[in-house]
Structure 1
Amino acid sequence: MQLNNFMREHYHNLQLRLPLFYSWDIGIRFELGVNWKSEYDYPNNPYVLGCYNRAITLFEAIHTLNDEIFVVMDIHDVKNNRNLKRKLKNFPRYVNKSLLLKLKHEALPYIFPEDNEDGKLITHRFTLQCKTSDLNYMPLLKAICNQDLGLKPRISHSVYFININRKTIFQVYDDRGCDLLATSPAAIKDIYKKHNDWILDYDRAEIDKVFNRT
């Protein structure tokens, strides 16, 4: 299955761009990083370990090892940049090299047109279809959490995990939190219940409305 076909069938009119949660009616926004302290200026401090634990726990709650998934990475760059391959150097760390032959590339108009008045920017979308078991997801999630923490390795590109079987979209946007979308409340109500304490309080009222109707 192609990503575009999947999106048209299950997430019609949804554009993969930040912030996902505010662009779809059925979703949960979770808080990852909590209880930050100024003295946490070293790797693997309690704040960082808490971020990792929540991101990995939620990912594993959504994806079984046999699920078919799309891993989508958006790289925003200037047009005709010859250094694009160098910016993808981290991708092979997280999947078997043989799978990279299936990696698909699409050059898209910059997905934040309001910030591209001079037209110099473009979005490169890389998509890999694989099984969850093919993905070294733990270090990948940690690298995404690291992007604003001054830690390495880090990935500052937008990465989306789309579960073909469960029809969910999961994105860790940075150490602060992550979004989970679904095509129906029933599809993720188990996660809503089990990890209710992790829901971002700012959006809790709207999230509760969705799941308390079912």
Structure 2
Amino acid sequence: MKEELQQYLYKAFGNYPPYATNNINLDYSIGGQVHIRFELGGELLKNGTRERVAQASQRAVTLFKEAFPEPENKIWVLIYEYSGILINETPNFLCQQFPAEVFAAFYNQVERVYECVGNVYELGKEHNEGNNCKIIIGKVKVKDIKYQHILEAIANSEMGFEPAIDSRVYFIDPKTDRIFRMYDDRGCFVESNSADKIRELYQRRNDWIIDYHRPEIDKYFQQFPC
């Protein structure tokens, strides 16, 4: 299962060091050539409040539904769980958001995941021996994922609320070549290998784009107009 996903990532999104190298064993290397970074919690809502978590969760769910509109589509789920968590993560919460029989068939192994040193990924070097990380990979229908719960738990991760998860979770649709990742209450990424494949989201949710990154993001869609 891991090999199948790895082959797809290389084929669909390529290998462009040092950023989107798309090697599952390289930290934060999964991504497309085109991305949109959306703001979820916003600047007006105070950190550590239920209101901020609610807005972040609601926006994330909306973007997820629009990124993956077909409930019968089978999408890849790629999860990274490091041994040293930063928060009081709710035990076994994440695995419970998938049907038990489906999750039981997921790839689930502790492996070495390597970091970027400068602008080069160097595997096995003395100064970069990597970290143990549980890599979980599965393919599941959109309708069978309790993604609302997952996204809310990610929004809770630094807010002190439960349930909370500190895992990094990628959702990847091989039919549309779209990648979705929410990093916390602040924001999420929607990525692809083509501006046209996520242009509708760019247009529909343009007012949610993070202003600081807007010049870079706008350039993708102005460079490749319809």
| TM-score, structure 1 as length reference | 0.84
Aligned residues: 202
Q: Which residue of 1 aligns with 2:41?
A: 33
Question: Cα–Cα, structure 1 residues 72 and 120, in superposed 2: closer, same or farther, change >3 Å?
Answer: closer
2: CA distance, partners of 1:171 / 1:46: 21
Cα offset for 1:108?
Answer: 3.5
2: CA distance, partners of 1:167 / 1:200: 22
Q: Which residue of 2 aligns with 1:103?
A: 106
Q: Is contact 1:69–1:130 with CA below 8 Å preserved after alignment?
A: yes
Question: Cα–Cα, structure 1 residues 31 and 111, in superposed 2: closer, same or farther, change >3 Å?
Answer: farther
Cα offset for 1:11?
Answer: 1.6
Question: Cα–Cα, structure 1 residues 95 and 199, in superposed 2: closer, same or farther, change >3 Å?
Answer: same
2:176 aligned with 1:159, yes or no? no
Match of 2:13 among 11, 14, 34: 11
Cα offset for 1:170?
Answer: 0.6
The structure with the greater share of residues assigned to helix is: 1
3-state SS of the aligned residue for 1:127? Answer: strand
2:73 aligned with 1:67, yes or no? yes
2: CA distance, partners of 1:112 / 1:132: 31
Cα offset for 1:121?
Answer: 2.3
Question: Cα–Cα, structure 1 residues 24 and 55, in superposed 2: closer, same or farther, change >3 Å?
Answer: same
2:63 aligned with 1:55, yes or no? no
CA RMSD of aligned residues (A): 2.6
1: CA distance, partners of 2:83 / 2:170: 18
How many percent of aligned residue pairs carry the same amino acid?
Answer: 27
1: CA distance, partners of 2:11 / 2:28: 21
3-state SS of the aligned residue for 1:102? Answer: coil
Unaligned runs of 5+ in 1: 79-85
Deviates more, 1:116-125 or 1:99-108: 116-125
2: CA distance, partners of 1:87 / 1:106: 20
Q: Is contact 1:159–1:171 with CA below 8 Å preserved after alignment?
A: yes
One-letter amino acid matched to 1:9 = K
Question: Cα–Cα, structure 1 residues 32 and 107, in superposed 2: closer, same or farther, change >3 Å?
Answer: same
Q: Is contact 1:67–1:164 with CA below 8 Å preserved after alignment?
A: no
Q: Which residue of 2 aligns with 1:112?
A: 115
Q: Runs of at least 4 residues of structure 1 off by over 6 A?
A: none
| TM-score, structure 2 as length reference | 0.80
Question: Cα–Cα, structure 1 residues 163 and 198, in superposed 2: closer, same or farther, change >3 Å?
Answer: same
2:189 aligned with 1:187, yes or no? no
3-state SS of the aligned residue for 2:164? Answer: coil
Q: Which residue of 1 aligns with 2:208?
A: 198
Question: Cα–Cα, structure 1 residues 113 and 122, in superposed 2: closer, same or farther, change >3 Å?
Answer: farther
Q: Which digits, 9 at most, give the CA deviation of each residue in 1:92-151, with x for residues without a partner?
A: 32011111222102443223255x947472222101101101111101110111111111
Q: Is contact 2:114–2:129 with CA below 8 Å preserved after alignment?
A: no
Q: Which residue of 2 aligns with 1:81?
A: none
